[in-house]
A and B are shown apart, each in its own frame.
Chain A
């Protein structure tokens, strides 16, 4: 088995996403949800603009570690342009991946940089915060 090093968790790709502010903004008049990691105080708000069952725009605001910020940015990039249904499928696979279970690689295009997150038990919550919040944002349609 290949040893999982810290280099993989803090790879250039992940650092780039964490510093990339493209998706870090508010979308006015959108579906949104707030998420919190109680143990570390990290907070995130996810904004979704949904039109006819399709996520036309996704963004986030908040503060957190590199893992949580990179995860949020990648999530927004992946779900933009997808239908809500597709996004939910991706979400399911991502959660499975974070738990170290079998998942469908084809569905989570790009996110495999986090495929070893389950080997860092203290950081799984950082990675999944934006995804759990996405689920709430999807359910928060009024």
Chain B
């Protein structure tokens, strides 16, 4: 890890004062703070090298193309993929939409086959499948994550020889439960070897090192802005064999081979899926963010998250006015969802901010089916990342006590 004063230098927002208090940023599952070096890399690209990519032959165009493609290589190395298996998107949401539509229009799901999702998914890994199901008359099966806790053994009963696609999050963005993806892959492939396994990595990738080859998943979606990168850039990883079979979802410039009045043929991977001028600035920023994560070390990040989550759970369990959701064991990572008895999460979040400078999330976390499983309308959520320290949690606890005193 970097030492804490280094983090203050790297993340200027950490020096902000909120109502006279030091900012305690605990909303990392929504988005992470920006490191200076990432924004400097974006700025350097924008001001000195920017041109359209893959098109012209002048110097700037060549530099821009090289920077874009070396960002792609960086992302490929990060998850042990091939370069042509990395499609840049604007984030997890676009990645999953692209994938859902493309699988459907490419007839990769035959009549009678099913798509399996769960009720703990973020809306972006729920609504696209649900809507694809309606539009293309494909059966969607929903695994109920009862009481908000994912039970692998129950889940395996939902996988059958009819299951063509499985899409599941790597970490619940509500409870922080870490889902045993390797186990799911192993079991699912035994039931049906060619089942397409998709992981929503929006919460997982920022916290765990992933090797898509040894994990043997088919697709992986994630967002740059949850892993120290800029907004508007994300990734869809797909196994080359699948991507080659699939039809593009967006049509336009830069993705064609030959265009005539009658028809168009499409270019090679990954460009076939990247119609239009891409977000080069974002890709440069994301590559820089990945570099920083690698410098800190994904294993260190993982250990640090674990330590903070354990510490937070211990302290929060002592507050009898809190109801805490999720497994509350070693399989919970970097996220704690809770409610203050009888108090609406918005009130808790607003007061924590103003009394103690603590930034937390309140609401349904874009996961209404999961809220139903938990039997609540909304929760408060704290989430940690590399720059958080134990004393951030101490301030959270102090703030929670104050809020309870005020509103109880």
Contacts and interface: CB of A to CB of B under 8 A. Distances in A.
Contacts of B346: 40, 65, 67, 123, 126
B138 to A, nearest CB: 28
Interface stretch (B150-158, B311-319, B349-357): B349-357
A132 to B, nearest CB: 17
Contact of A41 (B347, B363, B407): B363
B90 interface: no
Contact of A64 (B19, B344, B354, B407): B344
B344 A66 contact: yes
Interface in A111-127: 120, 122-123, 126
B350 A41 contact: no
A41 B351 contact: no
B64 interface: no
B364 A66 contact: no
A72 to B, nearest CB: 13
Contacts of A64: 344
Interface in B371-407: 371, 377-378, 406-407
B368 interface: yes
A6 interface: yes
A5 B351 CA distance: 11
A41 B368 contact: yes
Given A6-B351, A39-B363, A40-B364, A15 B407 contact: yes
Interface residues of B, number: 19
B234 to A, nearest CB: 22
A63 B354 CA distance: 23
Contacts of B351: 6, 10
Interface in A1-27: 5-6, 9-10, 15
Interface string B70-110: 00000000000000000000000000000000000000000
A126 B364 CA distance: 15
Interface in A93-127: 120, 122-123, 126
A42 B376 CA distance: 12
Interface residues of A, number: 18
B407 A10 contact: yes
A6 B19 CA distance: 10
A126 B350 CA distance: 12
Contacts of B19: 6
Nearest to B355: A6
Given A6-B354, A10-B406, A65 B377 contact: no
A63 B368 CA distance: 16
Contacts of B350: 6, 9, 120, 122-123
Of the listed residues B344, B362, B377, B406, the one surrounded by the most CB atoms of chain A closer than 10 A to its CB is: B344
A9 B351 CA distance: 10
B377 A41 contact: yes
A36 to B, nearest CB: 11
A127 to B, nearest CB: 12
Interface in A38-87: 39-42, 63-67
Nearest to B346: A65
A10 B354 CA distance: 11
Interface in B194-243: none
Contacts of A122: 350
Nearest to B403: A10
A65 B346 CA distance: 6
Nearest to B344: A65
B155 to A, nearest CB: 27
A91 to B, nearest CB: 23
Contacts of B344: 63-66
Contacts of A5: 354
B378 A40 contact: yes
Contacts of A123: 346, 350
27 contacts: A6-B350, A6-B351, A6-B354, A9-B350, A10-B347, A10-B351, A10-B407, A39-B363, A40-B346, A40-B362, A40-B363, A40-B364, A40-B378, A41-B368, A41-B371, A41-B377, A41-B378, A42-B377, A63-B344, A65-B345, A65-B347, A66-B347, A66-B407, A67-B347, A120-B350, A123-B350, A126-B346
Interface of A: 5-6, 9-10, 15, 39-42, 63-67, 120, 122-123, 126
Closest 4 CB pairs of A and B: A6-B354, A65-B344, A65-B346, A66-B347
Given A65-B345, A123-B346, 17 more contacts: A5-B354, A6-B350, A6-B351, A6-B354, A10-B406, A15-B407, A41-B378, A63-B344, A63-B377, A65-B347, A66-B343, A66-B344, A66-B407, A67-B346, A67-B347, A120-B350, A126-B346
